[in-house]
Amino acid sequence: MYLSAHILKRLEEKRKHLNSLRPLPAVAVRKLKEHFEVEMTYNSNAIEGNSLSLRETFLVLNEGITIKGKPLKDHLEATNHKEALDFLYDLVDHEKKITFSEHLIKSLHQLVTQNIEKEWAGRYRNASVRITGTPHQPPDALDIPPLMNDLVRWVGDQQGKMHVVELAAVLQHKFVFIHPFFDGNGRTARLIMNVLLLQKGYPLAIILKNDRKRYYRVLQEADKNNYKPLVEFVAKAVERSLDIYLDALMPSSKTKEKYITLKKAAKNSPYSAKYLNLLANKGLLEAHKEGRNLVTTEKAIQRYRDKRQRKRA
């Protein structure tokens, strides 16, 4: 098991809490879905170098506006990614059990790269590639079909054995390690990760552009078979989405926990903002990012203190 027990416990409690609120209000769900589609499209594309801002991505997707001075390719990447997400949501909504297959992977890649890499959209590469900024050399093109076949079989074997967050995180790495396509591997990897998460009742997990450097570091650690940093990194992304959903869907304001910055939280706690940041990065304190800032709640800090006291007793 790669997930720490305390993180796993929090994820399961929050997922169960979210499920207890079902059926969810249709209007609220639609707004959350729109919010997450824009946010994931922006972040996933920005990680790969897309120049559209979050606001510009919203305008392209929701208003059909062309952003002056921005490349056509950046606009197409945004609309393509949203189409891939719509396909993914539709699949989850209408399939009781999604068959994870090479066909599904190729379909998502085809949607992500259509109108950009027409010749290779949905097709495995036929030549070697090098990835800038990493020592990893992807497998030869001739090895891709058997490796992808093995990957799909591995996912089938591991379902029910590994927690879905662990499985989704490790799958993402194994996919980018193979690097089966010429382009669009990162965006496709983050989509197929969410196939598994959405089917198990978790909301869309988003890797933030602001966490790009750390994201690449944990992927490189996974290259050395050290999966724990990557799994816990993905788990925090999952927890952030759960927090956003629960905050929006809680029926009473009395039961909500107000999120505040670590700096503000430190003023009313025995811990410094630096120490709270350390706890958050270790997964010991419930916290997630809003923009560039980590936020938590006073109740989350109290839960951490109570847990420490119980251990000392």
Whole-angstrom CA distances from 132 to 73, 113, 137, 172 are 20, 20, 10, 19
CB 123 within 8 A of CB 144: no
Per-residue pLDDT of the chain (313 residues; tens, 9 = 90+): 899 999 999 999 999 999 998 888 889 989 999 999 999 999 999 999 999 999 999 999 999 999 999 999 999 999 999 999 999 999 988 877 888 999 999 999 999 999 998 899 999 999 999 887 778 899 999 999 999 999 999 999 999 899 999 999 999 999 999 999 999 999 999 999 999 999 999 999 999 999 999 999 999 999 999 999 999 999 999 999 999 999 888 765 555 678 899 888 888 888 898 889 988 888 888 888 888 888 998 888 888 888 888 777 6
Q: Which residues are known catalytic residues?
A: 179
Helix, strand, coil in percent for the chain, rounding step 5: 65, 5, 30
My answer on whether omega of the bond before 23 falls inside 30° of 0, hence cis, is yes
